Amino acid sequence: MHSDNEEIKVSEIMTKKVIVIESEKSVKEAAHFLKLYNIRGLVVVENNDVIGLVTDKDIINNIVSENKIPSQFKVKDIMTSKLFSVGPDEKISDVADKMYSNRIGRVPVIDSDDNLVGIITETDITKIVPALIEVFNAKYDMQEEGHEVSKSIRGICEDCGNISDELIDADGRWLCEGCNDSKKIDLD
């Protein structure tokens, strides 16, 4: 369990079994792996170094929509080589913000020795959200039935990103006590 001052780290929710493909493999092989493993992206490696990502969207946009033959193109021809990676100890809220801001659905996780240790995807991040949605729905249902509902819940502060047992609804945003108190001071 996390204390109020800790936050979920990438290593806690990342997918550790990463499916990779060599850059010289055909796009047809990449599509086969995507289907076989029921995933949307592959980490591209060359000499065991991560050099890019290839996604189902890359295949659709660069091969299928252009009526090209997948077996005639290599992964390196269509992969995204401009990518960023994250470390296993990074805060998930920081990573989620980067992913959202850059419209990226998956990011390789690289350790301090430059080893690929995982991948973090939108799906991994959204897996931690359903518990919060259930709490919100339960509170709404209770309010609709006329029950008195506590004004605090456990979850992730929308301001600082820390986990708190006492999130407070502050003008439609769920804040920890510290952030809520600082907002009050700012208003004074």
pTM for this prediction = 0.65
Question: Phi and psi dihedrals of 33, rounded to 5?
Answer: -65, -40
Q: What pLDDT was estimated at residue 1?
A: 44
Q: Which of 83, 66, 67, 76 is nearest to 29 (CA)?
A: 76
Residues 90 and 158 in one domain: no
Residues 85 and 134 in one domain: no
Residues 25 and 110 in one domain: yes
Residues 38 and 114 in one domain: yes
> With the CA atoms of 158, 164, 165 and 170 taken in that order, what torsion angle do they form, in degrees rounded to the nearest 10?
-30
Which tens digit of pLDDT belongs to each residue from 122-149?
A: 888 888 766 545 545 555 566 566 655 4
State how far Cα 150 lies from the chain centre. Answer: 30
Asked if 53 contacts 20 with a C-beta cutoff of 8 angstroms, the reply is: no
Residues 87 and 35 in one domain: yes
Residues 158 and 95 in one domain: no
Q: What pLDDT was estimated at residue 132?
A: 42
**CATH number (domain holding residue 105):** 3.10.580.10
Which tens digit of pLDDT belongs to each residue from 105-115?
A: 899 999 999 99
With respect to residue 164, please indicate whether it lies within any of the assigned structural domains: yes
Residues 135 and 94 in one domain: no
Residues 50 and 118 in one domain: yes
Residues 114 and 141 in one domain: no
Q: Which DSSP string corresponds to 47-65? A: TTEEEEEEEHHHHIIIIIT
Q: Is the model more confident about 33 or about 84?
A: 33
33 CB contacts (<8 Å, ≥6 apart)? 19, 21, 39, 42
Q: What pLDDT was estimated at residue 119?
A: 96
Q: What is the CA radius of gyration of the chain?
A: 21
Domain range enclosing 167: 130-187
